[in-house]
């Protein structure tokens, strides 16, 4: 047995393992080529990512949002490039990410490149080759998409029963069912042939279950997902509480798939910024505690948007094995917070969590979101294994490889198979 007995041995072995262990990215907003315009990639999409739009309006508070949205995508990208990269150093996580993508794709002397030349670089790739290149650079073997039957561009694709690239798994996203039942989901389901009314009669509840079941089967969805506000509570005498209890949870149990709750989004606190306009709020974790305790036969994937919720989520994770904690989501996907969250998760949960997802909206973001996180995991895990070494336990490279495989894909696969 070649035990790793020094920090230097640990570091060399760990760095190689982290670089070589393929990843299943369990929550993204990317699509395979069947979904045509929904698959976003290239420099203009990278620069107009809603994270950078929000940052542009800080640098240029004088900008009129309506006028900005009326600009072409290339003009929006040029404005962002000029204000967040040229006139100010791109130090934010989202800006640095764009630089990382270009560097790792092999673009040299980025800071002196003209955007049109960078565009030419990206245009050299046929999209299927580019998908392969991005997955290879990120060392991602599979992603889970966010698939929304209420999206008028996406639904028709699924109804054609497309042959999806096997690297792209589906997740059924059902926000309108829980967040806008009366005004949105109910009339849409009715138009699709489900015999539903706004009042939640037994028949309507049965038809909602049929709708969920049909789409899980159509998509071969690995899980059902929803994003919820910080005010979310359960149990609750409400439309949302009833549909969760009578529809979501029974169907997830029947299909043996997790229910993924992403909690803490304050939708459109600044509507003028559109996708960039959402805020964050601290959630009441009694809601999660009640769900995981009351429904031991259901599996719950949970990620929370508020940093202040993270420690109590770890404690819930210690008490309930049907709760799988995942990712450093959205406003938490920043080195200083990833560091804090991952350390406390390792200390409280050992290796029984999913440390990261990319949330990539633009295909190329897989490259930076995973490169940045893996750099942090190398530092954090080195400390943890070195702490173990100092305590008197020397791991082997095989054991570290096993651990990292579980963090990067095994924990997710095993949770799905539970």
Binding site for Zn ion (CB under 5 A): 359
Binding site partner of 275, from Zn ion, ligand HDL, none, Cβ cut-off 5-8 A by kind: ligand HDL
DSSP, res 363: T
Which CB sits closer to Zn ion, 278 or 359? 359
- Residue 176-215 contact track with ligand HDL, rule CB under 6 A, x = bound: ----------------------------------------
Helix then strand then coil, % of the chain, to nearest 5: 60, 10, 30
Task: Give a three-class secondary structure readout of 274-293.
Answer: HHHHCEECCCCCHHHHHHHH
Chosen residue from 125, 130, 233, 330 binding ligand HDL by CB under 6 A: 330
Q: Is 403 a residue that touches ligand HDL (CB under 6 A)?
A: no
**Measured from the CB atom, is 148 or 403 closer to Zn ion?**
148
Q: Which is nearer to ligand HDL, 146 or 356 (CB)?
A: 146
In the complex with ligand HDL, the residue whose CB is nearer, 133 or 361, is 361
Residue 227 in the binding site for ligand HDL (CB under 6 A): yes
Q: How far apart are CA 272 and CA 220, in angstroms?
A: 36
Kindly state whether residue 248 participates in binding ligand HDL, applying the rule CB under 6 A: no
For Zn ion, which residue has the nearest CB?
Answer: 359
Question: Which residues make Cβ contacts (< 8 Å) with residue 383, sequence separation at least 6?
Answer: 343
Q: Return the exposure string of 183-206: e unless at least 16 CB atoms fall within 10 Å of the residue's CB, then b.
A: eebbebbeeeebebeeebeeebbe
Instruction: Name the H helices within 48-201.
Output: 50-59, 65-70, 73-81, 93-105, 115-123, 127-138, 155-159, 175-179, 186-191
Site for ligand HDL in 134-153 (CB under 6 A): 146
Backbone φ and ψ for 315, nearest 5 degrees, come out as -65, -40
CB of 6 to ligand HDL, least distance (A): 39
For the record, the structure tokens of 265 come out as: 């989004």
Question: Judged by CB under 6 A, does residue 402 bind ligand HDL?
Answer: no
Contact 375, 93 (CB under 8 A): no
* CB of 331 vs ligand HDL, minimal distance in Å: 8
| DSSP letters for 29-54 | ----GGGGGGS--SHHHHHT-HHHHH
Q: Binding-site residue total for ligand HDL (CB under 6 A)?
A: 8
Q: How far is the CB of 146 from Zn ion (least distance, A)?
A: 6
Helix (H) or strand (E) holding 373: helix 365-391
Taking the complex as a whole, how short is the minimal distance between the CB of residue 366 and ligand HDL, in angstroms?
Answer: 13
Q: Which two tokens stand for residue 339?
A: 């560091």
How near is the Cβ of 168 to ligand HDL at its closest, in Å?
Answer: 16
- Is 359 a binding residue for ligand HDL by CB under 6 A? The answer is yes
The total number of residues written for the chain in this structure:
418
Q: Which does 294 bind (CB under 5 to 8 A by kind): Zn ion, ligand HDL, none?
A: none
Cβ-based nearer residue to ligand HDL, 227 or 411: 227
The site for ligand HDL (CB under 6 A) is made up of 29, 146, 227, 262, 275, 330, 359, 361
């Amino acid at each position: 047995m070649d035990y790793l007995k020094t920090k230097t041995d640990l570091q060399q072995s760990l760095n190689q393992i982290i670089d070589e262990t393929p990843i299943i990215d369990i929550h993204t907003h990317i699509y395979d080529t069947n979904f045509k315009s929904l698959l976003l990639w290239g420099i203009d999409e990278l620069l107009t990512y809603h994270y950078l739009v929000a940052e542009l309006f800080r640098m240029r508070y004088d900008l009129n949002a309506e006028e900005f949205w009326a600009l072409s995508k290339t003009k929006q990208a040029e404005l962002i490039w000029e204000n967040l990269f040229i006139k100010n150093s791109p130090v934010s996580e989202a800006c640095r990410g764009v630089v990382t993508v270009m560097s790792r794709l092999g673009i040299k002397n980025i800071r002196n490149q003209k955007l049109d030349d960078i565009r030419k670089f990206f245009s050299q790739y046929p999209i299927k080759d580019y998908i392969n290149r991005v997955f290879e650079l990120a060392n991602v073997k599979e992603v889970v998409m966010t698939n929304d039957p209420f999206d008028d561009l996406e639904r028709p694709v699924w109804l054609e029963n497309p042959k999806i690239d096997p690297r792209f798994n589906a997740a059924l996203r059902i926000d309108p069912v829980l967040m806008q039942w009366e005004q949105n989901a109910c009339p849409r389901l009715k138009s699709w042939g489900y015999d539903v009314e706004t009042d939640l009669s037994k028949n309507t509840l049965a038809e909602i279950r049929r709708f969920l079941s049909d789409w899980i089967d159509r998509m071969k969805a690995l899980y059902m997902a929803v994003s919820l506000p910080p005010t979310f509570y359960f149990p609750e005498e409400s439309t949302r509480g009833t549909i969760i209890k009578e529809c979501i949870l029974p169907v997830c149990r029947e299909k043996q798939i997790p229910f993924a709750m992403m909690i803490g989004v304050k939708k459109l606190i600044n509507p003028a910024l559109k996708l960039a306009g959402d805020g964050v709020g601290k959630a009441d974790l009694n809601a999660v505690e009640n769900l995981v305790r009351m429904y031991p036969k259901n599996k719950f994937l949970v990620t929370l948007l508020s940093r202040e919720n993270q420690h109590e989520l770890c404690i819930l994770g210690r008490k309930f094995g049907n709760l799988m904690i995942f990712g450093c989501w959205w406003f938490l996907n920043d080195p200083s917070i990833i560091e804090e969250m991952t350390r406390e998760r390792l200390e409280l949960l050992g290796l029984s969590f999913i440390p990261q997802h990319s949330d990539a909206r633009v295909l190329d973001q897989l490259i930076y979101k995973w490169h940045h996180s893996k750099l942090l995991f190398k530092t954090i895990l080195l400390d943890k294994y070195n702490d173990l070494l100092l305590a008197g336990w020397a791991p082997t490279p095989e054991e570290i490889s096993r651990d990292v495989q579980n963090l990067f894909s095994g924990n997710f696969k095993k949770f799905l198979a539970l």
